[in-house]
Amino acid sequence: MAPQGRLRDVLWCVTVVMVSDDPTFLVAFAESSFKSHLLLVQTTRLLAFTRLPLHHLHTLHHFHKTLSRTNSIITVIDDTSVASSGSVYSFLPYSDPNDKPIRVASWTDGKGLTHTSTSYLFPPKLVRFSHRPHLIITAEAFPTQVAIMVDDPTVPGGKRLTFRGPMNNVAEFLSQRLNFSYIYKRSPNRSWGTRQTDGTWTGMLGLIMREEADLALGPFAMTHNRNKWIDYTFSVFYTEYTVFAARGRPKVDPWGFLQPLSPLVWAAVVTTLLAVITVLLLVPPCLPTHTHHKARRETNIFNCVRVLLQEDVTKTIGWWWWERVVQGVWMMMMMVLTQSYTGNLMSLLAVRHIDQPYETLRDVLDDTDVGIIIVADSVNIPYFRASITNAEVFESYN
């Protein structure tokens, strides 16, 4: 079976059809789908069929919660009459199980499907609540949002938690637009929340996953791993994280003359030089004895080195044609190499080389002179963990 996060990605823009008359199965299906957040994506639709009476469904609290919080409808089939018929209902979000659902359509053998109260078979539930539900919103303080306690005689203790800042204004706007009242609740560890290795969540996201809160007031960083388990609203604002560090000073590298060419190129040059010298040493013994000339062989060897160092070549009388070919090819190779080396060296000398102290997040962690202070259970924690363990993706910790 695929992980729940992967199933959530698969169940995107699909219609799930569920048919059952067993109350136990209905409750089990509702609990598993709601806890795993598989059907909470608004683009995913649930179409349920059952012969259980409507008043019997009111006693199935978990099933009612699933149908009310998701984009779902249920068709109650009436097979007591001669002609088969049924009624299609939609449960309002955050409604009481004893509240009567909305009848959106009816179905008979003769007329087929007939819409009743609305033109939508799956009516939009999160546009505006017809009743005024009371929701729990979890939030935390950050530099632009301050947690304060205000006097409120209607709550236990006479003090009520509230926040002052731009995100509180968003919560106020949503409450007026969607028609709901709310109270604030803070997480036990005062953090935004991350997913632990055992699958549990901390902070505000933990309250959402444990159904102890209905909404979490951010701002939350949008990550791929979080998106597999929770639903985001539209982005309120965008921000970037940047690591600032003092720029390094220009340094004089005594081995700077080696930088124009890579180590592999230097190794290839030395290897080619040895190969040319080897050819000039091994080929003459294979020729007739009267053609041997020790001084000429030594001169050829020194000529190879002189060509590499851009010096003139000592002329040797009586060169064989193959010696001229080997020396000519070697001169051409060295001419191309030296021109490339000269151009790169001039570029390096013209531009002052300044080391960058931090090029990756791992460089920050490896710097013993840097003290790092991170908000606990924030979105930055997994990135630092991934850098420490050389992991390539954030999901490796989940």
pLDDT at 7 over 60: no
pLDDT value at residue 315: 61
Same domain, 145 and 184: yes
> What is the C-alpha separation between 364 and 273, in angstroms, rounded?
43
- pLDDT band (50, 70, 90) for residue 184: very high
Same domain, 20 and 84: yes
Same domain, 214 and 262: no
Q: What is the C-alpha R_g of the chain?
A: 38
Same domain, 201 and 140: yes
- 84 in any annotated domain: yes
In the chain, the number of structural domains is 4
Enter the tokens of residue 6: 């992967």
- 369 in any annotated domain: yes
> What is the C-alpha separation between 347 and 353, in angstroms, rounded?
11
Q: What is the pLDDT of residues 252-299, one digit of tens each?
A: 666 777 777 788 888 888 888 888 778 777 766 665 554 545 546 666
pLDDT at 394 over 50: no
> What is the C-alpha separation between 323 and 321, in angstroms, rounded?
5
Q: What is the pLDDT of residues 81-97, one digit of tens each?
A: 666 788 888 888 888 77
pLDDT value at residue 298: 64
Cis-peptide into 284, omega within 30 deg: no
- 81 in any annotated domain: yes
pLDDT value at residue 100: 79
Boundaries of domain holding 323: 256-350
